[in-house]
Structure 1
Amino acid sequence: MRFASLLAVLWFSLYSLPVAAQPASSPLGEGAAVAVAIEQSVQRAIERTGPSIVAIARVPKADGAHAAADFTFNVPTLEQPAVDPTDPGYVPTFFASGVILSPDGLILTCYHALDDPRQNDYYVWWQGKNVRATVAAPLVQRSAAVVQAGDPWTDLAVLKIDAKGLPAMPMGDAAELRRGSFVISLGNPYATARDGRASASWGIVSNLQRTARPQPPEAAGDAAVVDRQSLAEFGTLIQTDARLNLGSSGGALVNLRGEMVGLTTSLASVAGFEQAAGYAIPIDEPMLKIIETLREGRQPSFGFLGVEPSDTPSGRGARIARVVPGLPGDQAGLVSGDVIVAVEKVPTNGAAALFRELSRRPADSDVELLVARHGPGGVQPQKLTVRLGKKQLNLSKPGFSQIPEPTWRGMQADWATALPPHQLMFSRRRFDADLAVLRVDPDTPAWKAGLRPGQFIRSVDGQVFQRPAAFYEHVEQAEGDVTLEIVGNDGRRQKVIVGRGEGE
């Protein structure tokens, strides 16, 4: 039931009460008191969080020049001249919402709202204070924004503007939401929040762990398989009946305490129906860790267990059909036949649910699994702690970040689990190694030494490293030749000496 409907019922109840039933201390009656209390809660939540919402415009770069250099861009038609974005009459062609993360100008929004940063510029409007006036009246400010990082898997991105003293959004926990929880949506529908005032709508949480519709491939035949290109397609979204009009993506879904519990992300209209269903990315502990990585200008990485799960007949838990030797699941003690009931106390009812929860956790993080194992005495519950590897994601859209993935002498080393699955499953049967070569650029020292993608790194100068960060820390300190012991897909071990490059 929407807030408006709820209030209507309360007011109807008010005027339906007999006169004798209305308390003497409240001339409007008990129904009005409840309605006013809800109204005041909504107003306080909007007052607390509204200033943390910004309007975002995406503007295609001008041909042959950077659009930020001048205001000769975004011409809707050949007849209509360009206008200044600071002009109140200016309406962006592409627009979205954003949430202030920090006083120094970090802005959270949706990845899909930004498209390709190489082809677009971004502008942000927010409400500041007019320090030049005798009274601190609101002043709408506009700044060019730079993309810190964007991740297509979670549909999250972070922008940076040159600002100080911005009101950061208070963060809540989406894990506390239930169906029927009251929520408020704040955003920039139809680019109206360029005046510095976010638009608000209200409603309830219609459901949780909703699945987004998969995006079809750009060019595919009838027999093509549609791969899931985002975490939301495995069922992580909050569904709400709060009105989310065009441009609300990247806005905030807040609770009545004035805390952000979701990032509004999409509409799902159904043919023949006028009302669209609104969705939001849940803001909880795993998502906050991902956001922190994006704030740093880095690409996030996601957890990988190394098992083949299947659904159970009862629908409770995910049964392990196969454990790949040497991978995190095997190292944690999982065996075929185990049923993973929960990940970090979150139920995993089916293979997709297990995949979803693991894919929300960062790589190299310790995760507690609740496992049901069949033994001589029957089914015994066990708790296992696993250190997740890194998932290999083959997405149609790339991520972007200010800080690129590290390389050394022309090669990129990473978790072995980040290799393509077919290569990983075949090779790891013969040996155990935590690191692998993911990429080698031609005509570099690593290439000339014989290193190729898919090789596993057993040791570096006689030392074994289990994490990419430790590997890079060691090799970056090396001034001369570095000896790597590698293993190929055929299981053959060899030592490779990687020399210095020119100018190194």
Structure 2
Amino acid sequence: MKTRKFILNKVLSLVLGIFAVTIVPSMTGLLPSAVAASVAGLPDFTEMVEKTGPAVVNIRTTEKAKMAQGAPGIGADDEEMQEFFKRFFGVPVPRQQQPERPSRPKRPGAPQADEEIARGVGSGFIISADGYVLTNAHVVDGADEVYVMLTDKREFKAKIVGADKRTDVALVKIEGSNLPRLTMGDSSKVKAGEWVIAIGSPFGLDNTVTAGIISAKARDTGDYLPLIQTDVAVNPGNSGGPLINMRGEVIGINSQIYSRSGGYMGISFAVPIDEAIRVSDQLKATGKVTRGRIGVQIGELTKDVAESLGLAKAQGALVQKVETGGPAEKAGVEAGDIILKFNNVAIDRSSDLPRLVGNTKPGTRSTITVWRKGANRDLTVTVAEMEQEKTAKREEKKPKAEQAANALGLVASDLSDAQKKELKIDGGVAVELAEGAAARAGLRAGDIVLRLNNTDIKDAKQFAALVAKLDSKKMAVILVRRGDASQFVPIRPNGQ
């Protein structure tokens, strides 16, 4: 019995030995490759950060003490928060209680008005070896002095070369040579899903690196240009810092975040570097940015309106108002036109038009293609230089009417010759009462109806006849003028 047990133990030991010698090493040999496979595709940012980090700078701004009076309770950190959060698409600014701070000692013999008070902290990056630095316009806006600090702790007093609030781009200059600089990339080639990093000074923490991906490449936020959306962590103080791709190239300037709480929520926006460089080149040359204008007020074209007007799809910019004596009026553009192309470039969204026109040199003769009454027309317009918009004068006319509400829910009356002359129109009818479908569509007394589908309105009798012939199963669209602006409004007859 003992002999049998002894033999079994020997055999078991031999088997385990063979397993340890042959099988285990082969398994452990597989482990590194398995781990490598599990992390395949994850980027290593260390070399890129070492290469690009020295060209990213901290920017602090100050103002004279006399300029800071009248704003008690707002410290430097809170001021930066105000500058940053006011760009959050209308989200209320969270006010923070500021702790008591010891007063700064006065310099001997210096008057109080000369004291510099810290007002904000931001970021920037060097784009040339001789000291040109890009940042956001809101970082330096209102500053009396701007200071730029490099990663090696050298600090320079900077000069603001120029700032453009429309694109939120500013160019500042420090005196230096052989400075580290970043390489510019091509923001038009970015793709959703690619890795990027942001380097900046959130809350004053110099050279902080965060990483993420491109969420969308051309997000229209209502600003002058489409922005790059990312999920890179960006916070107050990151403003003006670079957004860098995996090749170490700058593709954007971190400018905004979206937040309901006042903190980072996974959505941040950057100014495309192509536009930023175009702006900075003008700032460097002239200290300002010159843009073109044609003198129209535009709106978005909806699907219902496009279908009612006979357009294949909802694209283009709807002309709501044409400036009197402006380039567009001289070219023959009318309220109600749909601008489909500018210099043969298609207008997919209404926001495309001001960008294309703005990038056109004033004095240039350009071709615009408009859709009017079911057909395309090419018009030649001479682009003028953009100037400050004038406030439009609004008129409200309430002519009396005697007929009952029609199938659109409108009671309309004729306009007098004097009213037409004052409004500078040849026809149309005045809305006396809007009910039912018209009221739900937003029409009200005093509006002027200029067109029904593709037919100009001459008088109330013609308008009533056209409405009576409408198909209640199809959406109709009317061109309505309110004050100085015109807008297409879709309405279904009989309120169906």
TM-score grouping bracket, smaller chain normalisation: 0.5 to 0.7
> C-alpha separation between the residues in 2 aligned to 1:293 and 1:234?
17
CA contact (8 A) 2:166 2:223 kept: no
Match of 1:146 among 159, 176, 193: 159
Contact in 1 for aligned 2:291/2:385 (Cα 8 Å): yes
1:390 counterpart = 2:385: yes
Q: For residue 371 of structure 1, what is the aligned residue in structure 2? A: 369
Deviations along 1:116-165, whole A, 9 cap, x unmatched?
Answer: 24xx21111114xxxxxxxxxxx421111111112222222111111111
Alpha carbons 1:269, 1:275 under 8 Å: kept:
yes
Alignment match of 2:215 (pick from 206, 211, 218): 206
Rounded to whole Å, the distance in 2 between the matches of 1:244 and 1:367 is: 42
Write the mapping of 1:256-295 to structure 2, written as runs, cut at 5 A. Answer: 256-271=246-261, 275=265, 277-284=267-274, 286-295=275-284
- What is aligned with 1:187? 200
Give the match for residue 41 of structure 2: 34
Q: Does the Cα contact within 8 Å between 1:306 and 1:323 map onto a contact in 2?
A: yes
Q: Does 1:252 align with 2:242?
A: yes
- The match for 2:145 is 121
Q: Distance in 1 between matches of 2:363 and 2:183?
A: 26
Give the Cα separation in 1 of the matches to 2:363 and 2:244. Answer: 28
Cα distance in 1 for partners of 2:342, 2:247 equals 28
Counterpart of 1:354?
A: 353
Contact 1:310 1:350 in 2 (8 A): no
Measure the CA separation in 2 of the matches of 1:143 and 1:301: 30
Match in the other structure for 1:59? 62
3-state secondary structure, aligned to 1:292: helix
Correspondence 1:71-470 to 2 at 5 A: 77-79=101-103, 81=105, 94-117=120-143, 120-127=144-151, 139-193=152-206, 198-210=207-219, 212=221, 233=223, 236-271=226-261, 275=265, 277-284=267-274, 286-312=275-301, 313-314=305-306, 315-320=314-319, 327-329=326-328, 339-343=338-342, 348-359=347-358, 361=359, 363-364=361-362, 366=364, 371=369, 373=371, 388-393=383-388, 420=390
What amino acid does structure 2 have at the position aligned with 1:77?
R
Name the aligned partner's letter for residue 275 of structure 1: M
Give, in whole Å, the separation in 1 of the partners of 2:340 and 2:47.
40
Q: Distance in 1 between matches of 2:61 and 2:279?
A: 24
1:238 Cα offset (Å): 2.1
State the shift of 1:308 in Å.
4.3
Matches for 1:467-486 after TM superposition, within 5 Å: none
3-state SS in 1 of match to 2:139: helix
1:500 corresponds to: none
Q: Distance in 2 between matches of 1:158 and 1:81?
A: 33
SS in 2 for 1:34: coil
Which residue identity is paired with 2:130?
D
Instruction: Give the corresponding residue for 1:488.
Output: none
Q: CA deviation at 1:110?
A: 1.2
What is the alpha-carbon distance in structure 1 between the residues aligned to residue 236 and residue 168 of structure 2?
17
Q: How far is the alpha carbon of 1:247 from its aligned partner?
A: 0.3
Q: How many residues align?
A: 322
In the alignment, the residues of structure 2 paired with residue 356 and residue 367 of structure 1 have an alpha-carbon distance, to the nearest angstrom, of 16
Match of 1:46, SS?
Answer: helix
1:209, distance to aligned residue in structure 2 (A) = 4.1
Q: Contact 2:235–2:263 (CA<8 Å) still a contact in 1?
A: no
Q: Note if contact 2:167-2:224 (Cα within 8 Å) is conserved in structure 1.
A: no
**In structure 1, the residue corresponding to 2:234 is in which secondary structure?**
coil
User: Residues 323 and 335 of structure 1 are in contact (CA less than 8 Å); yes or no, is this contact kept in structure 2?
Assistant: yes
3-state secondary structure, aligned to 1:159: strand
CA drift at 1:300: 1.0
Distance 1:125 1:247 in 2: 14
CA distance in 2, matches of 1:255, 1:43: 13
Unaligned segments of structure 2, at least 5 residues: 1-25, 68-75, 78-98, 108-116, 307-313, 394-420, 425-496
How far apart in 2 are the matches of 1:169 and 1:46? 11
Q: Distance in 2 between matches of 1:370 and 1:44?
A: 49
Matched residues in 2 for 1:386 and 1:101: separation?
37
Larger radius of gyration: 2
> Compared with structure 1, are the counterparts of its residues 176 and 329 closer, same or farther at alpha carbon in structure 2 (3 Å cutoff)?
farther
Query: 2: distance between equivalents of 1:51 and 1:327?
Result: 49
- Identity of paired residues, percent? 27
Instruction: Give yes or no for contact 1:124–1:142 (8 Å, CA) kept in 2.
Output: yes
Which structure has more helix as a fraction of its residues?
A: 2
Q: In structure 1, how many angstroms separate the alpha carbons of the residues matched to 2:224 and 2:178?
A: 38
Q: Using the TM superposition, give the Cα deviation of residue 82 of structure 1 relative to its aligned residue in structure 2, in angstroms.
A: 7.7
Quote the Cα distance in structure 1 between the aligned partners of 2:285 and 2:138. Answer: 20
- What is the letter of the counterpart of residue 385 of structure 2? K
Q: Decide whether the 8 Å contact of 1:171 with 1:259 is kept in 2.
A: yes
Question: What's the offset of the Cα at 1:296?
Answer: 2.9
Q: Give distance in 1, aligned partners of 2:381 and 2:51.
A: 40
Cα gap change, 1:310 to 1:98, in 2 (>3 Å): closer
Q: Secondary structure at the match of 1:238?
A: strand
3-state SS of the aligned residue for 2:39?
A: helix
> CA separation in 2, counterparts of 1:167 and 1:186?
15
Structure 1 CA distance, aligned partners of 2:191 and 2:343? Answer: 19
Alpha-carbon distance in structure 2 between the residues aligned to 1:113 and 1:272:
18
Please tell me whether the aligned partners of residues 343 and 354 of structure 1 are also in contact (alpha carbons under 8 angstroms).
yes
- After superposition, what is the alpha-carbon deviation per residue over 1:392-434, rounded to whole angstroms, capped at 9, x for unaligned? 235xxxxxxxxxxxxxxxxxxxxxxxxx4769xx9xx9xxxxx
